Amino acid sequence: MSETAAEETKTPSLRLDGLVAVVTGAGRGLGRGIAIALADAGAELVLVSRTQSELDEVAERIREAGGTARTIVCDVTDAAKVTELIEGIERIDILMNNAGANIPEPFVDVTEEHLDTLLNLNVKSMFLVAQAAARRMLAGGRGGSIIHMSSQMGHVGSPNRTNYCTTKHAVEGMSKAIAAELAPHNIRSNCIGPTFVETEFTRPMFENPEFKQFVMDRILMGRLGKISDVTGAVVFLASPAAELITGASLTIDGGWTVV
């Protein structure tokens, strides 16, 4: 077999050795799991959230496994702090743009305060973090991978989630525009769109039998998501195995958005 043929059949690597990954909202839930998974794949982690104690726990878990992690406390809705944060990081190869929130309530009851809260956290902060990280990637000249935490709700509508759906549809459009603009610089921008993932924070939601039935009727594969369902997708999109994927949205929804 020729050298060219061997290269064509070689399985791309999912390793992230030598790369620096920034994860926002890294202290708990999906952000915590994603940070640990990226570290396990070899990346050096920069963990960002508002709570030092939670960041310290994640960093210790990564270090105990032989990885490298540092922590930065930052409110990502503060534009000045975001700029200061990113400019203080010498190198960024991967951004997991994860920080976000939800306030489920009927459309007619959404207050301007709640609308502003989700727009600021789920859209504006993600825009600012991605923008600052892209500047660092451009300055480094090595390209990079920006991954945005979207949702299956960035593709469909759902009762009591007009506010959340608005923000996640916006994130999907933002990601595509970033991908189109930065592709010549080898900077990729993609979304992941999980369904409901079972965590300590979502379990109380499923104590309501009507809500649980509503969800399970729509997840065609018959189960809630697991953190590992999401972390595998993130490692893939961050890795050389996905080096030609940009402007995409990878739904991890068990079939919710199929029908």
Known catalytic residues are 164, 168
Residue 83 CB: number of other CB atoms within 10 A? 15
In whole angstroms, what is the distance from residue 235 CA to residue 94 CA?
A: 10
- Both tokens of 125, joined, read 């902060």
In whole angstroms, what is the distance from residue 44 CA to residue 62 CA?
A: 10
Q: Identify the bridge partners of residue 47 per DSSP, sorted by sequence position.
A: 23, 71
C-alpha of 231 from chain center: 9
What are the E-state strand segments in the chain? 20-24, 44-49, 69-73, 94-97, 144-149, 187-194, 249-252
Which has the closest alpha carbon to 177: 159, 190, 193?
190
Angle of CA points 171, 37, 91, to nearest 5°: 70
Which has the closest alpha carbon to 58: 22, 27, 83, 99?
27
How far is residue 227 from each of residues 33, 173, 200, 234, measured CA to CA in Å?
A: 6, 25, 11, 11
50 with 74: CB under 8 angstroms? yes
Quick one: CA dihedral 149, 153, 155, 160, positive or negative? negative
